[in-house]
Structure 1
Amino acid sequence: MTDISATAGALPRASEDKAARTRLAYLDGWRGLSIALVLIGHFFPVPGINLGVLGVEFFFVLSGRLMGEILFIERFPLKKFFKRRFSRIYPALVVFVIAAMIGLAGTFIMFKWKAALTALTFTYNYAGIFINRAGALDHIWSLCVEEHSYILLALISVIVTGRANVVRLLTVLALLAMANGAISYGLLGMSYETSYWRTDVHIASILLSTAICLLKADGRLPAFLKSQHVALAAAAGGVLLFLNPVPTPIHYLVGVPLLALAVNTLEFDGSYLTDLLSSRPMVMLGLWSYSLYLWQQPFYKFVDERGSAPVPMLAAVFGCALASYYIVEKPARGWLNRNW
């Protein structure tokens, strides 16, 4: 620590703390926006665009940015990183799977123990395609992709030296994964799930966002791409490219890179978008986003397959999610982080 007086250091530290709080609020706002898109897309679908799919992509590119900062810029210790990932994700997931298994037993949404096991081992995105799936757990495919990306990015952070080499590798892997999806879906005629649930396809969103994050951190991102006008245009273009008339491969070949660019280059510049993302409703949605993500699926299935009224089903989602967050997710994470 530099040798400065307490008085001299007070203002910079206060300024840094305020910047950190603004930054955290802003990133929680991104999560809030992502889960809001998923909920609207599932319970109040908008004709012409699948907002649920778009929300998942926002989650992925945001995750790529955060992993870039944590693993390659901050060089967070891997042991601590995985402990924190486990404490954040697993307790709430276990409770959700058990509760869903009990609550949905005998309903029209068939719940199979093998599918539950694959959800708890983060293999559902492949097992759900080739072996066994249960509608109430179908959303776990995206959690599987994210968990697999943590392992791959952690390995790269240990094995590959030099950030330039890391960026090259991430870019190549992302391009291969994007091509894999385009070939599977566009040329081989596989279904959406068979093509885009797979980690070897959908990890492109996370890897590409991580690469852009590192390019920006190293000052190697072209200056014009860092313009806030370009960032806003990228966000708008990415959203428009997820419209239903646009061929699905284009969503991921062009739309995802634009979303990744937007998430990495939109800054805290006092704009209306920053103010929106930092607002209390968006921040709170971001804090609850994981529990909301877990619990929305079974109730969405009642709306989608049974025709249940969406408003009471969405209210039930929030009731279960808030109970999950305040009774399971937050206390379990705090206890594990303190004691493990």
Structure 2
Amino acid sequence: MTDISATAGVLPRTTADKAARTRLAYLDGWRGLSIALVLIGHFFPVPGINLGVLGVEFFFVLSGRLMGEILFIERFPLKKFFKRRFSRIYPALLVFVIAAMIGLSGTFIAFKWKAALTALTFTYNYAGILINRAGALDHIWSLAIEEHSYVILALISVVVSGRGNVVRLLVALSVLAMANGAISYWVLGMDYETSYWRTDVHIASILLSAAICLLKADGRLPAFFRNRHVALGAAAGAVLLFLDPVPTPVHYLLGVPLLALAVNALDFAGGYLTGLLSSRPMVMLGLWSYSLYLWQQPFYKFVYDRGVTPIPMLAAVFACALASYYIVEKPARGWLNRNW
């Protein structure tokens, strides 16, 4: 995830940085909530709802909001943008994939270099459903979609002029992607992974959130949606729409738009919500969220497929993730951002 928060328009760099520093806490807290949902869903599943799937959607809509701010509002230089994305994502991913390939050798979720290559080239979301899956890497589908969205949004920022045109294009692409998912699942009878691991379907979450972000920045978000209770209400509505009895395509046709609205409406929310998200535990979870997301998958597979007790596995997740964050992710990002 990015380190820049919302701005009201195209601000000078120093002004944008100041706004980011004062408003970043509750966005980190949203990240913390996202990874908490994933961890609870994987290690302590709640009957009636897949919190792991819901947590990924929380991540996606946040990414859409932030990409909208960076690429279309702040107009961040693309060369620097992709360098920052690389320094944020790749070192920790590379270490995880190599360590997992070696450490899991001989286990039921061992994988070979071909699977590792699909993870490191962000093609796993298609290779995993078309060629061969590797359980320890199954979560990489979401990283692949996010990386693809960076490229698509960057291209749109270069090719399409006028924020109104950008918003219309983002909404149109979102609708097409959601319809694609519904047709794949309902009409063509594809399973969840084949339908919703694909970028041409799941990018809707990111694009729609970016579109709402731009409407908000241009003052075109209807006044009703700027109410202080909208963020909480929309998020609660989305959670209800992700309940198991609700058909899967409805999760994405109705639930995702509500989540996209919720993350963008945080700027108008009362202190009760932003205060909770800005609390130190939530912010710290948010800072560790990427490493936690990387490392939870193999341990989750031992719990889910082999019935291993979840608490020791979750403790191992935190141990590996904190080592990853403080030894790999944070130092590598800092060094690359300073020297590259």
Same fold (TM over 0.5): yes
> How far apart in 1 are the matches of 2:274 and 2:193?
34
Question: Structure 1 stretch 226-235 or stretch 72-81: which is displaced more?
Answer: 226-235
> How far apart in 1 are the matches of 2:339 and 2:153?
26
State the superposition RMSD in angstroms. 1.5
The answer to whether 1:170 aligns with 2:190 is: no
The answer to whether 1:40 aligns with 2:40 is: yes
> How far apart in 2 are the matches of 1:198 and 1:127?
10
Q: 1:17 to 1:154 in 2, by over 3 A?
A: closer
Q: 1:47 to 1:54 in 2, by over 3 A?
A: same
List alignment gaps of at least 5 residues for structure 2: 1-14
1:124 alignment counterpart: 124
Identity %: 87
> How far apart in 2 are the matches of 1:243 and 1:269?
25
Instruction: Give the TM-score normalised by structure 2.
Output: 0.94
2:328 alignment counterpart: 328
> How far apart in 2 are the matches of 1:75 and 1:188?
40
Secondary structure in structure 1 of the residue aligned to 2:190: coil
2:241 alignment counterpart: 241
CA contact (8 A) 1:296 1:317 kept: yes
Which residue identity does 1:196 align to in structure 2? Y
1:184 alignment counterpart: 184
* Offset, 1:271: 2.1
> How far apart in 2 are the matches of 1:337 and 1:16?
18
* Structure 1 segments (4+ residues) deviating >4 Å: 15-19
List alignment gaps of at least 5 residues for structure 1: 1-14
The answer to whether 1:65 aligns with 2:41 is: no
1:203 alignment counterpart: 203
CA contact (8 A) 1:112 1:133 kept: no
Secondary structure in structure 2 of the residue aligned to 1:267: helix
CA contact (8 A) 1:268 1:274 kept: no
Cα deviations by residue, 1:9-33 (Å, 9 ceiling, x for unpaired) = xxxxxx9987543411111001000
1:218 alignment counterpart: 218
* Offset, 1:186: 1.0
CA contact (8 A) 1:209 1:264 kept: yes
Largest Rg, 1 or 2: 1
> How far apart in 1 are the matches of 2:22 and 2:191?
42
Alignment of 1:1-340 (within 5 A): 20-267=20-267, 269-340=269-340
* Offset, 1:269: 4.9
> How far apart in 2 are the matches of 1:20 and 1:335?
21
Which residue identity does 1:234 align to in structure 2? A
1:8 alignment counterpart: none
Which residue identity does 2:302 align to in structure 1? F
